[in-house]
């Protein structure tokens, strides 16, 4: 009886390892924004769970040279969502986080890649000044703020415009206008 149970256990073990697939994992810690090198990667065999989306080991050459969008930890599996095709922000651009109150974010359904206009409005009771009516930007990320009431939109703006826009938006007198997604 014990021999039969042992044989069944060994059979189950072998059937489980036959279902394993070889995937890419981080061989060492890799910081956000760093370019992946061959030595940063290794492989592991796992039984694939539908909740996971690892990269097959056969694709290792494809991801060498790509940037990491979030830090990788040694031994952690690597997914497409952890990779960025280029540095963010790219050369000559800046990231500008903007907090949108719920009433200004509702209905916009902003998504990374969307083009927006940043419209700076005068203080209540003041006349418009010589400020250009708007600036353009691309949405890099969208997330709920820590208070979960506001939305934090990170905008990709020209580096020379970043400090000026940040100063203008600090007072909260602005709106984002979503441009057509059909480009």
Full-model pTM:
0.57
- Class of 93-178 in CATH: mainly beta
- pLDDT tens readout for residues 22-78: 999 999 998 877 889 999 999 999 998 888 888 999 999 999 988 888 888 999 999
Peptide bond into 8 cis (omega under 30): no
Q: Phi/psi at 56 (nearest 5 deg)?
A: -60, 140
Which one of 3.90.1150.10, 3.40.50.11540, 3.40.190.10, 3.90.1210.10 gives the CATH number of domain 2-84?
3.90.1210.10
Q: Where are the domains of the chain?
A: 2-84, 93-178
């Amino acid at each position: 009886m014990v021999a039969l149970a042992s044989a069944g256990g060994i059979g189950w073990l072998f059937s489980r390892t036959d279902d394993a697939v070889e995937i890419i994992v981080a061989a060492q810690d890799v910081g956000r924004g760093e370019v992946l090198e061959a030595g940063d990667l290794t492989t592991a065999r796992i039984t694939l769970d539908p909740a996971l989306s690892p990269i097959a080991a056969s694709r290792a050459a494809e991801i060498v040279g790509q940037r990491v969008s979030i830090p990788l930890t040694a031994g952690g599996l690597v997914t497409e969502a952890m990779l960025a095709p280029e540095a963010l922000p790219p050369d000559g651009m800046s990231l500008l986080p903007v907090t949108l109150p719920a009433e200004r974010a509702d209905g916009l359904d902003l998504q990374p890649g969307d083009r927006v206009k940043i419209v700076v409005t005068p203080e209540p009771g003041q006349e418009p000044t010589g400020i250009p009516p708007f600036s353009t930007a691309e949405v890099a990320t969208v997330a709920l703020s820590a208070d979960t009431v506001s939305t934090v939109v990170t905008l990709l703006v020209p580096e020379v415009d970043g400090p000026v826009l940040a100063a203008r938006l600090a007072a909260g007198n602005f709106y984002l206008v979503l441009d057509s997604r059909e480009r």
